[in-house]
C-alpha cells in the first residue's frame, strides 16, 4: 500500500463524554446518520484521498471492527497505541508513532469534531507541499468552551503564537514530517507528546500558516453537544 495522505486521531478516552464513552469509543458516537469518524472517512473518499491512518487506543478494536480495512473508497491502516502501549500517546505522540505510514505532507483531523461541509482536497495538499511550511491550520470562531482561542492570524496568513485576537484551532490541518524533527522516529518507546508546543515553536520561526474556516464545526466534547447536534 502507498503511504497515507491523511490521519484521523481516534485514540482518546473521551472522559468528558462519559458515560457514553464507557462502552463506545468517542469517534463511533452517532451524529445524525453516521458515526463521527464516518463523516471524515466519507469526505476523504470523496476527495480521492484513498489511504488513511487511524490511531486507536480506548476501545479501538470497535473502530477496526466497524470499518475494517476499507470503506467509502478509503483504505485504512491502524496505529494501535492501545495494543502496543496500553494507552493513548496524546496528539503529537500518536502522530510521530504513525509517521512511517504517512506521506511527507498529510491531512490531519480529530475524530471527535463534526464539520460536515469541510472539503479535504488533494489540491490543498499540493499547495501546502509547495509552500515549504511545516503546518497549515484551519481556525474557527471561538466556541463558548474556548472563549480566549488558541492562535492568532496575521494579514499575510501566518499563524501567530501571540496575538490580541485569537481563534480556535479546529483540530484540522495540513502537516509535514519536518514539524516532528528531533523526536524519536516512530516513537518506539510510546512517549506521550503534546502538539501545541511544537506548533508554537514553529509559529515563532514563521513556519506555520493558517486560514479561517467558517463552515459548520462542533467539538463534540460533551453529551450535551452531541444531543444538540442530534436534536
172-188 residue pLDDT tens: 999 999 999 999 989 99
Q: How many folded domains does the chain comprise?
A: 1
The three three-digit cell numbers of residue 45, written as one number: 473518499
Residues 45 and 52 sit within 8 Å (Cβ to Cβ): no
The Cβ of residue 160 has, within 10 Å, a number of other Cβ atoms equal to 19
**Looking at residue 1, what is its pLDDT?**
60
| For range 134-162, the mean pLDDT | 96
* Burial grade of 62 (CB within 10 A; 0-12, 13-18, 19 or more): middle
Q: Give the C-alpha separation, 188 to 160, whole Å.
A: 32
The C-alpha cell at 210 is 493558517
Domain at 164, CATH number: 3.90.550.10
Q: What is the pLDDT of residues 89-109, one digit of tens each?
A: 999 999 999 999 999 999 999
Nearest to 5 by CA among 40, 38, 56, 57: 40
pTM of the model: 0.94
Counts for the chain of helices (H) and strands (E), in that order = 7, 14
pLDDT of residue 143 exceeding 80, the answer is: yes
The pLDDT of 206-231, averaged and rounded, is: 94
85, with CB counted inside 10 A (0-12, 13-18, 19+), is: middle
Q: Hey, how many other C-beta atoms are within 10 angstroms of the C-beta on 224?
A: 10
Tens of pLDDT, residues 197-208: 999 999 999 999
Q: Residue 183: give the domain boundaries.
A: 4-230
Amino acid at each position: 500500500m502507498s503511504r497515507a495522505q491523511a490521519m484521523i486521531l481516534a485514540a482518546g478516552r473521551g472522559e468528558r463524554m462519559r458515560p457514553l464513552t464507557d462502552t463506545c469509543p468517542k469517534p463511533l458516537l452517532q451524529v445524525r446518520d453516521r458515526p463521527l469518524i464516518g463523516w471524515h472517512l466519507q469526505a476523504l473518499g470523496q476527495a480521492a484521498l484513498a489511504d488513511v491512518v487511524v490511531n486507536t487506543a480506548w476501545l479501538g478494536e470497535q473502530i477496526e471492527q466497524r470499518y475494517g480495512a476499507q470503506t467509502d473508497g478509503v483504505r485504512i491502516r491502524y496505529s494501535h497505541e492501545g495494543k502496543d502501549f496500553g494507552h493513548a500517546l496524546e496528539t503529537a505522540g500518536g502522530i510521530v508513532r504513525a509517521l512511517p505510514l504517512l506521506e511527507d505532507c498529510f491531512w490531519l483531523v480529530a475524530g471527535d469534531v463534526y464539520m460536515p461541509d469541510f472539503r479535504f482536497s488533494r489540491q490543498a495538499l499540493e499547495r501546502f507541499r509547495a509552500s515549504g511550511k511545516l503546518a497549515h491550520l484551519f481556525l474557527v470562531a471561538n466556541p463558548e468552551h474556548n472563549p480566549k482561542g488558541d492562535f492568532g492570524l496575521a494579514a499575510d496568513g501566518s499563524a501567530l503564537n501571540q496575538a490580541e485576537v485569537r481563534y480556535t484551532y479546529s483540530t484540522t490541518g495540513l502537516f509535514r514530517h519536518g514539524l516532528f524533527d528531533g523526536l524519536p522516529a516512530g516513537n518506539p518507546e510510546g512517549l506521550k507528546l503534546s502538539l501545541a508546543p511544537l506548533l508554537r515553536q514553529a509559529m515563532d520561526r514563521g513556519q506555520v500558516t493558517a486560514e479561517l474556516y467558517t463552515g459548520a464545526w462542533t467539538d463534540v466534547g460533551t453529551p450535551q453537544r452531541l444531543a444538540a447536534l442530534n436534536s
